[in-house]
Structure 1
Amino acid sequence: MVASDREGRFAPVIADWFLSRVAGREDFSVKVVDLAEIDLPTALSHHPSPAVRAQLAKVTPVLEDADAFVVLTPEFNHSFPASLKNLIDRHFGEWQAKPVGFVSYGGLSGGLRAVEQLRQIFAELHAVTVRDTVSFHSAWRHFDEEGRHKDPAGAEGAAKALLDQLAWWARTLKQGKSAVPYAA
């Protein structure tokens, strides 16, 4: 899930890099949800309009079918984008008993303050967040003009750790989800 929806965003560079790490693995099948492509109004309603329902129809089935999530988020003002909170709050059961990993970027903190807030939110939704993250401090300095990581060893190790944990949690929670309290 690509959380940034700002014009001129850096997220596609990091998303492409991360997706290239996932591409070499047989334990993941990826569907990207890019919030820049989903137009959800900020006002939440128990009775969304037909236009809102049409936008949700693009993403809700993807969330329902997923066994795990990776949220790629920037840090804006020590937090994550409103577009991500908007999407999260429009769903509940879709997150339950599923693991969530994080790839973040930003200035000095590399997006880790945003990730810490997201951990609390996903805990409330009965999702499990994996401990290891991939974070890019001053992300634009790590990539060249073609979007290639200049010194990828550390980031690749972090991505491998994140994906290994995410795969384990996805298998474990999928098996356990059929038990109480998550039985359908």
Structure 2
Amino acid sequence: MSETPFRLAVIIASTRQGRFAPTVADWFVRTAGQRADLDIDVVDLAEHPLAHVGEEPTAEQAERHAALSPRLSAADAFVVITPEYNHSFPAALKNAIDLHGAEWRAKPVGFVSYGGLGGGLRAVEQLRLVFAELHAVTVRDTVSFHNVWGLFGEDGEPVDPTVQNGAAKGMLDQLTWWAHALRDARTVRPYGV
């Protein structure tokens, strides 16, 4: 059993101008950063605009893809921070997922979602299907912010952090269990598709 901290890639899915994602992401990274068993790498898709699947990438897009792929590959686990747009998740996230394959395999994925009444949970349920197709393991517990715009103060902290902090701890406990089990398994035997 390895005691090396798990490399956690936190993927910020929203790329829209005026997005609320940085507020949620900053809170989550601060929360997860309190754990000694995680080495966090924040991947903001707004900073990595990629060519669309099937498009010939520009030189700049190819360079961004070449920089992003090893970061995803090095991750032992992922947390996707996603809003819900029209009962689904952002197109930039789907594109980034589809442009990679082996990077997701045999690794756990957790979710932090936000939105209106649904709190982003419909986006999460769709993402579970996508990640299952890519041979990733999604953890059961999620963190969701319902009617997110009223849940954070001007300082970027949750007004009442009790529920989300507890949910984050539960999700991260599950994620690190799976990260441990799957990293050990990948070390012993490469995952085959």
Q: TM-score range by the shorter chain?
A: over 0.9
| Residue 44 of structure 1, CA deviation | 2.4
1:12-42 C-alpha deviation (Å, 9 max, x unpaired): 0011111111111001000000011012132
What whole-Å deviation, never above 9, does each CA across 1:47-89 have from its counterpart, x for those lacking one? Answer: 6443322010221111000000000000001000000000000
RMSD: 1.6
Residue 40 of structure 2 corresponds to 30
Q: Cα 1:176–1:156, aligned 2, differ >3 Å: closer, same or farther?
A: same
Structure 2 gap segments, 5+ residues each: 1-10
Q: Could you tell me how far apart the structure 1 residues matched to 2:189 and 2:182 are?
A: 12
SS of match in other structure, 1:177: helix
Q: Quote how far apart the aligned CAs of 1:181 are.
A: 6.3
Aligned to 1:177: 186
Q: Please state whether the residue corresponding to 1:31 is helix, strand or coil.
A: strand
Residues 143 and 168 of structure 2 are in contact (CA less than 8 Å); yes or no, is this contact kept in structure 1?
Answer: yes
CA–CA distance in 2 between the matches of 1:100 and 1:20?
19
TM-score scaled to structure 2, two decimals?
0.90
**Counterpart in 2 of 1:115?**
124
CA displacement 1:101-120 (0-9 Å, x = unmatched): 00000111100000000000
The letter for the 2-side match of 1:10 is F
Instruction: Give unmatched runs, 5+ long, in structure 1.
Output: none
Matches within 5 A, 1:25-174: 25-45=35-55, 48-174=57-183
What CA distance in whole angstroms lies between the structure 2 residues aligned with 1:82 and 1:68? 22
Q: Is the 8 A contact 1:100 1:166 kept in 2?
A: yes
Counterpart-to-counterpart distance in 1, 2:177 and 2:189 = 20
- For 1:62 and 1:40, the matched residues in 2 are separated by 15
1:175 maps to amino acid: D
Q: Secondary structure at the match of 2:109?
A: strand
Identify if the C-alpha distance between structure 1 residues 179 and 14 changes in structure 2 by more than 3 Å, giving closer, same or farther.
same
CA distance in 1, matches of 2:101, 2:21: 25
- Whether the 8 Å contact between 1:79 and 1:113 is mirrored in structure 2 is yes
- Contact 2:110-2:138 at 8 Å conserved across structures: yes
**CA 1:120–1:183 in 2, change beyond 3 Å: closer, same or farther?**
closer
SS at match of 2:144: strand
Q: Is residue 51–residue 58 contact of structure 2 (8 Å, CA) maintained in 1?
A: no
* Greater per-residue strand proportion: 2
2:21 counterpart letter in structure 1: A
